[in-house]
Structure 1
């Protein structure tokens, strides 16, 4: 299966093809839709061919242009965790938890200084709510058929974090990260350390070859095993 990336150096926006059409994994920051369209077009994909968005969690960098996307492309539906909708309707990240390192804390403070500290994004229009598919035990098999993959519940970064396994690849959202200001594949924000560690154990149990994070390049699954014992030692730096 071919994996396309219509994102940029900051945020990956993966796209792949199924019998249903194209699936997009996450969107990107607000105001970046046009750039994503251009990058997709260069790879032979028009976003009108996208049938579903798999949203790994409701944060401003993952759902930033989601409402704009739905307004422009009327056929797209969105598959989400059942806890994501309140955040999407609010249009702002949760501040539960904290930064996973002092460097991450400084980075978050810098984001505040340049006006990005509130982590706001356009809330979902209520007229678009019926285009969201919440993953429930009774419907899980149907969503996995649509996605042609296995949905993994990977909380820790956020309570609504989900990942997607396709073949020997896992698209983990922010359940892991590969690049500054993160270290040892740990994302810069963690709501719950125990849940985060348990999610890494789940990812390891899947025995995938490659992990595709939302931030940074893909990496070998063995790196999670290498760094997992670092997680209990993490001190969370609160922003509020």
Structure 2
């Protein structure tokens, strides 16, 4: 299907058109607000046309704009993993499941992250906002996903399903459309491959679970992978790179230490 990409400072969000309006996949950083509004306008889409937001996971670069978008259109339903509810209410990336940076080269490059965001947005981003976002309280009309769910079953007029793809986080979800297009959030990525990411996202909480999620997507019929970070790519890349990153090469970083590195 025709998918509209909204390129923000670091995150790619996506719009899926339905008869009723649009489904938004992820939202970006809190600091992306003006850029998000501009991208939406460039796409010719009004806030009033947004019907659902499907959140691939709770991280700051995916959930940072939830409150602002819902304020613009309170009728929007937010669809998320049931595991995301408490994490969103805390307003910070999950510290209970420590992240491992995929290798030492990527860990070094992470120190540049905040500066890249500021250059992209052309504005100052406070140091203390790393890994934090405005807390979001789940509302009665929001939808919590516990397992594989057809989109039609939750009132979304698209042929496809939501699949649990944990590994990056415990609440990670992917949207697999029946034509094979798959919006994976951070369940895969196409960035920093020169540094050895091998189509993994830069930070993973459980590498074995991460690769099992790849296997799940492959078995379910994914064809084109559309990650939140980097350009779309063929599922063949997941098949070819399955298991190539090793746990012994990862650099385990607690949230507190990682936040200091990003300042």
* Same fold, judged at TM 0.5 (above): yes
Within 1, Cα distance between the matches of 2:148 and 2:213?
22
d(CA) in 1 for partners of 2:128 and 2:93?
11
Name the structure 1 match of 2:170.
159
Q: What is the deviation of 1:168?
A: 1.6
Deviations 1:47-85 (A, max 9, x none): 220000000000000001111111121111100000001
Matching residue of 1:132: 142
Residue 220 (structure 1) aligns with? 234
- 8 A contact 1:91–1:123 mirrored in 2: yes
Which aligned pairs between 1:113-128 and structure 2 lie closer than 5 A?
Answer: 115=127, 118-124=130-136, 126=137
Give yes or no for contact 2:148–2:164 (8 Å, CA) kept in 1: no
Deviates more, 1:154-163 or 1:42-51: 42-51
Structure 1 residue 152: Cα displacement: 1.0
**Runs of 5+ unmatched residues, structure 2:** 116-125, 255-263
Partner deviation per Cα, 1:111-138 (whole Å, 9 max, x = no partner): 58972674010111x4x52242101359
Aligned to 2:186: 174
Residue number in structure 1 paired with 2:108: 106
Q: Secondary structure at the match of 2:191?
A: coil
Work out the CA distance in 1 between the residues paired with 2:221 and 2:147: 23
Provide structure 1 residue ranges, at least 5 long, that are not aligned to the other structure: none
Residue aligned with 1:122, SS: coil
Change (3 A) 1:120 1:182: farther
How many residue pairs align between the two structures?
Answer: 238
Find the aligned partners of 1:117 and 1:138 in 2 and give their Cα distance: 33
Query: 2:207 touches 2:247 (CA, 8 Å); kept in 1?
Result: no
Which residue number corresponds to residue 37 of structure 1?
Answer: 37
- RMSD between superposed Cα atoms in Å: 2.4
User: Residues 175-217 of structure 1, C-alpha deviation per residue, up to 9 Å, x if partnerless?
Assistant: 0010126621011111111110100111111233210000000
SS in 1 for 2:35: helix
Q: Which runs of 4+ in 1 moved over 6 A?
A: none
SS in 1 for 2:106: helix
Question: Which region of structure 1 is more displaced relative to structure 2, 229-238 or 212-221?
Answer: 229-238
